[in-house]
Amino acid sequence: MESLVSEIGRALRRARLSRGLTLREVSTASGGRFKATSVAGYERGERHITLQRFCELCRFYDVPPEELLTEIVRSGERPAEPEIDLAVLELLDPEQRALVSSFVRQIRALRRERGDDMIVLRAGDLEVLATASGKEPEELRGMLRPTHRRED
């Protein structure tokens, strides 16, 4: 159950970030309906969210609740997708950094995501990037591991 709560939180966080919203902006834009501390608690898996509240928050993010629920269920069926903290890509050598940065820009354009200091590389993304860099997906995952943001 705990992993489900955590995955719901991660999915809500991805939905918020894909809209380019801060926690404070969610609170302000919702007229205080969604308090920043509550949303942060949901995202960290510290607070349980009712199905009704989950659906309301999804609609606020303009994401169909069933789409996010499908993503949550599927997440338990596959390995975790690397969440890359772009601020520390400086640890990569210049050639790899340029390749990853270019790829991230293309992924964001395709996903219609706004700029942020984080991006989730989906399994297919990782395979494409690995092919482009001449590496195996697991080798690339290992290379990017130092740039993963730790789960709290």
Higher-confidence position of 18 and 124: 18
| DSSP state for residue 113 in the 8-state scheme | P
57 shares its domain with 89 = no
Residues 62 and 113 in one domain: no
Each residue's pLDDT tens digit, 88-135: 677 778 888 888 888 888 888 887 777 667 777 776 788 888 888 888
- pLDDT tens-place string over residues 74-93: 776 655 666 776 766 777 78
- For residues 62 and 103, state if they share a domain: no
User: Is residue 152 one of the residues assigned to a domain?
Assistant: no
* Residue range 15-39: mean pLDDT, rounded: 95
Q: How many domains does the chain have?
A: 2
Q: Which of 42, 43, 123 is nearest to 75 (CA)?
A: 123
Q: Which domain holds residue 117?
A: 83-147
Residue 15 in contact with residue 58, Cβ under 8 Å?
A: yes
Any idea what the CATH number is for the domain that residue 62 is in? Answer: 1.10.260.40
Residue where a domain terminates, one of 75, 91, 120: 75
pLDDT(146) > 60 = no
Q: Are residues 8 and 63 in the same domain?
A: yes
Contacts of 58 (CB under 8 A, 6+ apart): 15, 64, 65, 68
Last residue of a domain, one of 59, 75, 91: 75
Report yes or no: 51 and 66 within 8 Å, Cβ to Cβ. no
CA distance 55 to 66: 9
User: What is the C-alpha separation between 145 and 136, in angstroms, rounded?
Assistant: 14
